[in-house]
């Protein structure tokens, strides 16, 4: 894992970055991802949707520098060479959740194996962040499987300088024989525009459609 610093004076986004950072402008977009093919492929191998959802998001984020651009703990602007998923797991006994992280592994089989180990080890511990130390190069991912939604917005008041994407999935629904999963992407306008949000959603849909290739 490496943090590559950005020289703001010669950066192509300098004007956009400074304008939207000063305004503290963030935005969210919610899209319905067609997971009909994905669910068929998952069921064939007895996999659950959530780890696949985490895996796909991590793949998309690591494919585009814009989704890895942020300030590090020293306040330096740059981008991570690799992002790890930090995701929530639900404790049925207390109806609370914990946030844990897993390594970004190249294949879904490897990731799923690690995911299962992490969930088994850290679930039910009654702590928000049971797995420490938490790596700095992570993005928050969560799912609300009890309810669908057409929009979702989560506000982080962190001096307006949290630049990494935040992803939330909802309960999928069946419409005209197809399964649709609501996915909300929240990003900072200083580093991403509507174009990048569209790239994210299109890449996510493509991974769902081509899931037989990576499952």
Tell me the catalytic residues: 189
How far is C-alpha 9 from the geometric centre of its chain's CA atoms? 29
Q: What is the CA radius of gyration of the chain?
A: 17
**Element of type H or E holding 55:** helix 49-62
How far is C-alpha 17 from the geometric centre of its chain's CA atoms? 22
Q: Helix (H, G, I), strand (E, B), or coil: what is residue 151?
A: coil
Kind of pairing, strands 26-34 and 178-188? antiparallel
List CB contacts of 179: < 8 A, sequence separation 6 or more.
34, 35, 36, 39, 172, 173
The sign one gets for the Cα dihedral 33, 36, 41, 47 is positive
The rounded distance, in Å, linking the Cα atoms of 111 and 23 is 38
Burial of 132 (0-12, 13-18, 19+ CB in 10 A): exposed
As a dihedral over the C-alpha atoms of residue 69, residue 71, residue 72, residue 73, rounded to 10 degrees, the angle is -160
């Amino acid at each position: 894992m490496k943090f590559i610093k950005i020289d703001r004076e010669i950066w192509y986004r300098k004007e956009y970055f400074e304008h939207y950072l000063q305004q503290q402008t963030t935005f969210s977009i919610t899209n319905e991802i067609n997971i009909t093919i994905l669910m068929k492929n998952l069921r064939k191998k007895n996999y659950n949707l959530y780890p696949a959802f985490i895996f796909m998001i991590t793949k998309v984020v690591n494919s585009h520098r814009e989704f890895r651009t942020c300030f590090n703990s020293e306040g330096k602007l740059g981008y991570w060479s690799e992002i790890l998923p930090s995701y929530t797991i639900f404790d049925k006994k207390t109806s609370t959740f914990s946030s844990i992280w897993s390594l970004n592994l190249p294949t879904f089989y490897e990731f799923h194996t690690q995911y299962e180990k992490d969930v088994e080890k850290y679930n039910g511990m009654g702590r928000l962040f049971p797995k420490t130390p938490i790596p700095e190069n992570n993005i928050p991912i969560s799912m609300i499987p009890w309810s669908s939604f057409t929009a979702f917005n989560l506000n982080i008041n962190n001096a307006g300088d949290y630049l990494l994407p935040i992803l939330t999935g909802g309960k999928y629904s069946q419409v005209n024989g197809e399964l649709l999963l609501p996915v909300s992407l929240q990003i900072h306008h200083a580093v991403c525009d509507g174009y990048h949000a569209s790239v994210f959603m299109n890449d996510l849909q493509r991974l769902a459609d081509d899931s037989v290739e990576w499952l």
